[in-house]
Structure 1
């Protein structure tokens, strides 16, 4: 029996009804070809290694066909973009193929770049090869780092021209997640005065993705608290690996605490707390240091959307929701300090640990020391501090800090630190190298880099994969079209 015939598609989201989505087929890619695929993501689905050779696989993931049980649809949501209410948004270039049963529970499959939908607004519904490669590589890289994220199964490409800043070629990346629901799904129905649909969505989400909230005195408050805690965990992960999302709009915030919608992201090179990775973000709203506070702001927007679900006086109900959001603060601080302790190789808890971590970050910022390399070289600094010292301008200040650190660390710190401080992250220049090769028809670098990023804590075979960025990388810019 072929893979398509073995798959079961429960498609639970489709049970909500047509006010939550529009069913429509994808606008497929002409003359498609495979660009890349992820064996690790396929294994998550329980699919065999040779799944790309299955009947119609290329046609399905290029949007030209469906397997039995798939039910393509685009969902409706709204949201705040750069802090401003943007009204109705929705899946403007994403198409939900369906939800498939896997050994790890139901997983949704989604085509990104599958053509126009009723929610495309002024867009063309397409994705380009450049942005698809970036999302594919980063999704799988983040998963290997242990950061909660949507996954990427494959990329299909075509010679179909797509206009961005210049003419590029079209591609589709297939994304995988337990759910693609966002804060903006709740905002949509709250804003349009649809408490019935809002309640149906909340009950559906709790039943399928947060059953522990179902028996709470106020399930909506319990749900908000759960989302706040998951979001705090995610922000601590991002900050600890130097990841900048670039466009933390409420419609890009996952209700499951997953990294969602890879666009103008970037991993920090030289450490600047106010680094802005999105060239379109001219006010720096989504700077690295502001990401935790932006997530907190977004949670308040979600709380406002959930308010119609609570009984009693609106003011008192609002206070209960705000109390749930406040759980974020303590959780983030706790998780962030825990991750910093791990990165420093510290065991146990001491009162001076926060100051020790903060002072190292201040030294890094003063020298614009490379984020990833500073932590990785610190992992070897007990035996040989010179490679670390080479990254810093004020070496005397670093030496004084190292003396404090030496007094705090315990035996075995080096091995512990190398297990949490990666050697390799998806720097922009690495992604750019894979993109430029792919644009010339060579997709080998994508899969080579995919395999390197799957083992981020190992020293790579090519030292250049873990090296400081070349000078030309400083000229790279990413924007919302990325």
Structure 2
């Protein structure tokens, strides 16, 4: 069976398909055709992960993945969900510009295949259901970059484009991203049915989630509570991964939070250049709710919203139920703090744990924040800094205006390395395996976007290859260099 047949038939063969929940959870509808589609970019590692053959990019596939055709047996659908946006209940939302085509099964892993930008759905509200080339390139590149960094994420198989105009701030051209994940279920899916008092539907959805995404929770005394704790732990690990690589999501609404602990919905994201805990990457976030340093606490807030949605599933006194769910959330803080410290120890090249490590890490981050030191470059230079170096510190020290303050921290760091008899030649490869040389900075994405808007997609392909090996020194040194001056004027918003 080729991959087209598999994609069309898996939902009919496997009870795991979300469509089996029925029409109260989704709407079946075809995508809207996109005129004159063409290939823009594709990810071969993603294709291999899905088990696709080398010749998968056929003309027929182009039409299907642009929304112009369906393979036999396909039954596309969009799901309904709700959520809190910027801390306020937003009511019914849903897949406003996403359509699920079906599922692929490869090596025991089931993957949902979804088109983003395939036209209006009943959940588009006043939107056109389209995606533009600019935002599609950003999502495609960042999905695959995060995967290469080892951070849980949805994946992106390809982008197709079209000359069709789409109005945002200006008129741009349309594009469709094919993205895949074990599931696109969000906190907002459960919130929707809880908020609207549809408790039987909520129970059905919870049963689906437990059966297919958390079967180990079924044997727990109270499965929804066990599931909440699982989500809390996964989310804590995810947030620690984000923070340690300097990633800002930009729009951490509950409808953008994955029940599987994946990075979901790439919009106004950004990676830190200069280290600024208060950095807000989303130009639409006027209150700074989703600033870099606030992300861990926002995730915890979102988990409380999820806990609230699960309350109708648990019988008993309301106060006792709330206490039970609150206890399930307690591991979040500890898991996050431990995951952060473990990751930061690795970034500093520390091979064993000592009680003073937290203070050493905190003071390093304060030092970076004081000077808005480039986060990625500082860690990469630190990996090359000899343990027994003289106080001049070389290229690393040059990053800091307050040399005396750097020298004081560096002395503590050298002493710490000496206590564990750290060997430079052994520590360097360990540190460079966790401190990327290249991340998807806004100016790198912008350069690829501008060339693509002029009809040249080569920079997307080149940059993708670099991002798929983020821990290697790039051939083009500028990929790992400081951002140019013009990068400081770039702005991204919810339309990005």
Tell me the TM-score normalised to structure 2 length.
0.96
Moved more, 72-81 or 97-106: 97-106
- Aligned residue number for residue 186 of structure 2: 182
Residues 168/247 of structure 1: CA separation in 2 closer, same or farther (3 Å cut) = same
The Cα offsets for residues 313-332 of structure 1, whole Å up to 9 and x where unpaired, read as: 11101110011011111110
Rounded Cα–Cα distance in structure 2 between residues aligned with 1:68 and 1:298: 40
1:313 aligns with 2:317: yes
1:415 aligns with 2:415: no
Query: Which residue is equivalent to 1:46?
Result: 51
Q: Is the 8 A contact 1:202 1:220 kept in 2?
A: yes
Of 71, 74, 91, the residue aligned with 2:78 is: 74
The aligned residue for residue 396 of structure 1 is 404
Partners of 1:326 and 1:157 in 2: how far apart?
45
SS at match of 1:56: helix
Superposition pairs of residues 402-481 of structure 1, within 5 angstroms: 402-409=410-417, 410-411=422-423, 412-481=426-495
Equivalent residue number for residue 227 of structure 2: 223
Q: Which of 252, 260, 267 in structure 1 is aligned with 2:271?
A: 267
Matched, 1:238 2:242: yes
Q: 1:16 aligns with which of 12, 21, 26?
A: 21
Q: Distance in 1 between matches of 2:241 and 2:296?
A: 11
- Separation in 2, partners of 1:478, 1:169: 18
> What secondary structure is seen at the aligned counterpart in 1 of 2:471?
coil
Match of 1:195 in 2: 199
Q: CA deviation at 1:6?
A: 4.9
> Could you list the runs of 5+ residues in structure 1 that have no partner in the other structure?
none
Q: Which residue of 2 aligns with 1:323?
A: 327
Deviations along 1:231-260, one digit per CA (max 9) or x if unpaired, are 000000000000000000000000000000
Query: What displacement does 1:2 show?
Result: 4.5
Aligned to 2:95: 91
2:370 corresponds to 1:356: no
Contact 1:367 1:392 in 2 (8 A): yes
- State the 1:139 CA deviation: 0.2
Q: Distance in 2 between matches of 1:26 and 1:437?
A: 28
Contact 1:45 1:104 (C-alpha < 8 Å) held by counterparts:
no
1:51 aligns to what SS in structure 2? coil
Give, in angstroms, the shift of residue 28 of structure 1. 2.0
Q: What RMSD, in angstroms, separates the aligned Cα atoms of the two structures?
A: 1.1
Are the aligned partners of 1:144 and 1:453 in contact in 2 as well (CA < 8 Å)?
yes
Partner of 1:108: 112
SS of aligned partner of 1:106: strand
Conservation of the 8 A alpha-carbon contact between 2:6 and 2:104: no
SS in 2 for 1:63: coil
Gaps of 5+ in 2: none
Q: Partner of 1:4 in structure 2?
A: 4
Instruction: Report SS of the residue matched to 1:10.
Output: helix
Secondary structure, aligned partner of 2:27: strand
Answer yes or no: is the 8 Å Cα contact 1:27–1:114 preserved in 2. yes
The answer to whether the 8 Å contact 1:75/1:90 transfers is yes
- Secondary structure in 1 aligned to 2:24? helix
Q: Deviations over 1:374-393 (max 9, x none)?
A: 11110011177311112111
Q: Is the 8 A contact 1:79 1:250 kept in 2?
A: yes
Q: Conserved in 2, the CA contact under 8 Å of 1:9 and 1:69?
A: no
* Partner Cα distance (2:40, 2:480) in 1: 24
One of 172, 177, 183 as aligned partner of 1:173: 177
Give the total of aligned pairs.
Answer: 481
Secondary structure (helix, strand or coil) at the match of 1:230 reads: helix
Of stretches 116-125 and 64-73 in structure 1, the one that deviates more from structure 2 is 64-73
Shift of 1:38: 0.4
Residue 413 (structure 1) shift: 1.8
Report the Cα offset of residue 104 of structure 1: 4.8
Paired with 1:110 and 1:154, the residues of 2 have a C-alpha distance of 11
Name 2:386's counterpart in structure 1.
Answer: 382
- How far apart in 2 are the matches of 1:18 and 1:340? 46
Residue 40 (structure 2) aligns with: 35
